[in-house]
């Protein structure tokens, strides 16, 4: 099983170009937002809470300057035109943070609504999406939500199976919810996430995921 060290942290303004690319890749016909401004407004909305999954790559500045072919190869490898540079320097190197997933929710009163969970195509099936869901549920608990809801395409059985694993149940359907192809949306909701049964099951699932993916997830910042 492939393992990649990554970490999860709150979204920042400088992440928007990468998140926009990932949004377009994951939801080509139904993007969450269309412009840089709309992304920025969303992540600064007091009701919205977004996180990103990142991997880090140390880059030698001198090597980049002396070998332009290597730069081009690196960009092709990462598959992204505008990788954000962090302000961490050591021995003439800087660290690039490459975003491989993001997730977000809206918190209103005692309810949290998952807006999206997305992982880059090349990084799927290695536990990142599940870890993002775990982090979103933890975030909802910290925001004093009692219930978490979401919509998912009726055809997306893989996502539905993951949500069911974490206590979501189908509660209805939105007819022709997705405008790009008029596909229906399946409505899903948890029970009370503060209840002892939910929390007990959630703890077990987190521990199982941690053991299965040990060495992949680094930290929640």
What angle in degrees, to the nearest 10, is found between the helix axes of 157-165 and 128-142?
Answer: 50
| 91-113 confidence digits (pLDDT tens) | 555 568 999 999 999 999 999 99
Contacts of residue 20, Cβ cutoff 8 Å, sequence gap at least 6? 33, 36, 39
* Residue 79 scores a pLDDT above 50: no
Burial class (CB in 10 A: 0-12, 13-18, 19+), 38: middle
Rounded Cα distance, 93 and 31, in Å: 35
* Residue 213 scores a pLDDT above 90: no
End-to-end CA distance of the chain: 25
| 114-137 confidence digits (pLDDT tens) | 999 999 999 998 999 999 999 999
**Percent of the chain residues topping a pLDDT of 90:** 63
Q: pTM, whole model, 2 decimals?
A: 0.81
Q: Which of 6, 50, 163, 166 is catalytic?
A: 163
Q: Which of 6, 130, 151, 166 is catalytic?
A: 151
Q: Supply angle C-alpha 182, 31, 80, rounded to 5.
A: 140
Rounded Cα distance, 3 and 100, in Å: 13
Contacts of residue 126, Cβ cutoff 8 Å, sequence gap at least 6? 1, 2, 3, 4, 213, 216
Mean pLDDT to the nearest integer, 41-54? 95
Rounded Cα distance, 108 and 48, in Å: 9
Which tokens belong to 171?
């509660």
What the chain holds in terms of domains, given with CATH numbers, is 6-216 (3.40.630.30)
For residue 216, the Cα-to-chain-centroid distance in whole angstroms is 15
User: How far, CA to CA in Å, does 206 sit from each of 31, 82, 96, 182?
Assistant: 30, 33, 28, 35
Q: Which of 132, 139, 117 is nearest to 47 (CA)?
A: 139
Which tokens belong to 44?
């600064």
User: How far, CA to CA in Å, does 11 sit from each of 18, 143, 202?
Assistant: 11, 17, 24
Mean pLDDT to the nearest integer, 42-67? 76
CB 107 within 8 A of CB 141: no
Band (72; pLDDT cuts 50, 70, 90): very low
Rounded Cα distance, 130 and 136, in Å: 10
- Partners of 174 in the β-ladder: 185
Clarify whether 80 is annotated catalytic.
no
Clarify whether 151 is annotated catalytic.
yes
């Amino acid at each position: 099983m492939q393992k990649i060290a990554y970490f999860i942290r709150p979204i920042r303004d400088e992440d928007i170009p990468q998140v926009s690319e990932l949004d377009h890749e994951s939801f080509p016909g139904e993007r969450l937002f269309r412009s840089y401004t709309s992304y920025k407004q969303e992540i600064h909305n007091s009701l919205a809470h977004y996180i990103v999954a990142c991997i880090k790559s140390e880059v030698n500045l001198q090597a980049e300057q002396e070998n332009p072919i290597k730069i081009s190869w690196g960009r092709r490898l990462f598959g992204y035109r505008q990788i954000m540079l962090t302000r961490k320097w050591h021995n003439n190197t800087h660290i690039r943070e490459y975003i491989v997933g993001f997730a977000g929710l809206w918190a209103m009163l005692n309810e949290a609504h998952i807006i999206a969970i997305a992982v880059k195509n090349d990084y799927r099936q290695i536990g990142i999406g599940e870890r993002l869901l775990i982090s979103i549920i933890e975030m909802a608990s910290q925001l004093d939500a009692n219930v978490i809801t979401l919509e998912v395409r009726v055809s997306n059985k893989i996502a539905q199976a993951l949500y069911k694993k974490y206590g979501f149940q189908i509660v209805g359907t939105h007819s022709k919810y997705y405008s790009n192809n008029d596909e229906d949306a399946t409505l899903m909701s948890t029970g009370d996430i503060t209840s002892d049964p939910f929390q007990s099951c959630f703890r077990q699932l987190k521990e199982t995921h941690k053991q299965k993916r040990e060495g992949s997830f680094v930290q929640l910042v």
